[in-house]
Amino acid sequence: MISIVVPAYNAAGVIGRCIDTVLRQTYPDFELLIIDDGSTDETAEIAAAKAAQDARIHLIRQENAGVSSARNTGIAAASGELLCFIDSDDTVSANYLEILHTLYSPGVLPVIDVVCSDRNGSALNPMPETFTLDGNWVDSYFCGQLRYGIAFSVCNKLYSLQTLRRECIAFLPELSIGEDMLFVFQYLQHCQSIRFSKDASYHYTIVPGSAMFSSMDYTQPYEKTFAIMSEKERFSSLIADRTLSRWAFDASIIIIANPFIIDRNYAEFKKWWREFRQTALYRSAVASEKPSGYKRRLLHFAVRAENTIAIYVLFRLLRFGKKKQKRGEPID
């Protein structure tokens, strides 16, 4: 049986649609765990009404503690052999579970392609049907092909529940950025390969006008994720310093290019830039190797430069972040 975990917070407008797409699955052996994370709207009532109509649906309510906590609650409550996650505002095609189950075998992470609501075609980097996790996969995961093919989301994958529990793999509730990335990274330590299906059966919803990367300064969340990645007892013994620096450089570009930062007037940006340069994230970023690609090399030079007005003008001119920053894509 497959346990499906759906964390939900104030999702009354979308949770019914999400549940309905799960109930249409061609693979019928599943349980659906709706984890209501302290919603103040009708989310729980809608889920309870659905559960009354289908015994495979279970509603679990908890005080608001964030999506990571809700997913951990789902892992603890699951009773299937396999487990997957679906976000409450997303939907899946009828063959979603069937494809994932067909791809699964012990030591393999099945991954299914994702299509976003704001564009046509795949949202992920092109992936081979099978990716063997050899000695170079960690760098690829954080900085290369796997970053935007696999680390994109915790959803669209199928996990062994036994492995999750035996290895104590869980989400880190203290993180608001990178929690998916580090969860999947922990799981891949116990896999030999990844199998990928090009059937885009997971439908990722992007709300029009979403301000995910434009409504606040994301320095602190990225700093916290970087600090945890740097902890030897957790991750840094597995992640090379070179890889950490490359990840820090990409994170720094995302932070600077955020319209919330780069749309400030020069005096405000200058003050922010002075403070940002004191962070461990920035210090690691400037130590990174010169990247490939003209634009990335130019940005690498600018980030390391002492000339504040030069970096301010460059980022405002490029304006590359408007479309790509919404989903944190790499810079070409």
The residue range of the domain holding 68 is 2-204
Take residue 40 and report the two structure tokens written for it: 């103040």
Alpha carbon separation from 244 to 83, 181, 226, 230, 291 (Å, rounded): 30, 14, 8, 8, 14
Quick one: 8 and 143 in the same domain? yes
Residue 281 lies in a domain: yes
Quick one: 259 and 194 in the same domain? no
Quick one: 112 and 227 in the same domain? no
CATH of the domain at 102: 3.90.550.10
Quick one: 179 and 306 in the same domain? no
- Which has the closest alpha carbon to 285: 204, 194, 199, 219? 219
Write the pLDDT tens digit of every residue in 298-308: 888 888 877 88
Write the pLDDT tens digit of every residue in 270-290: 999 999 999 999 999 988 887
Q: pLDDT at residue 74 above 80?
A: yes
At 322 the pLDDT is: 52
Question: Residue 33 in 3-state DSSP?
Answer: strand
Take residue 91 and report the two structure tokens written for it: 């939907």
**Rounded CA separation 194/15 (Å):** 30
Residue 209 lies in a domain: no
Residue 330 lies in a domain: no
**Rounded CA separation 71/37 (Å):** 10
Domain count, the chain: 2
Residue 210 lies in a domain: no
Mean pLDDT is lowest, of 246-260, 295-309, 313-327, for 313-327
Q: pLDDT at residue 168 above 90?
A: yes
Quick one: 12 and 129 in the same domain? yes
Write the pLDDT tens digit of every residue in 257-273: 888 898 899 999 999 99
Quick one: 170 and 306 in the same domain? no
- Other beta carbons within 10 angstroms of residue 96's beta carbon come to 27
Give me the mean pLDDT over the 71-76 stretch: 98
Q: Last residue of some domain: 150, 179, 204?
A: 204
- Other beta carbons within 10 angstroms of residue 120's beta carbon come to 6
Quick one: 36 and 151 in the same domain? yes
Write the pLDDT tens digit of every residue in 102-142: 999 999 999 988 877 555 555 566 678 899 998 789 988 99
Helix axes 308-318, 294-304, angle to 10 degrees: 150
At 202 the pLDDT is: 93
Residue 211 lies in a domain: no
The DSSP element (H or E) to which 98 belongs, if any, is: helix 96-103
- Which has the closest alpha carbon to 169: 148, 140, 191? 191
- Which has the closest alpha carbon to 316: 294, 296, 299, 329? 299
At 57 the pLDDT is: 98
Residue 212 lies in a domain: no
Residue 329 lies in a domain: no
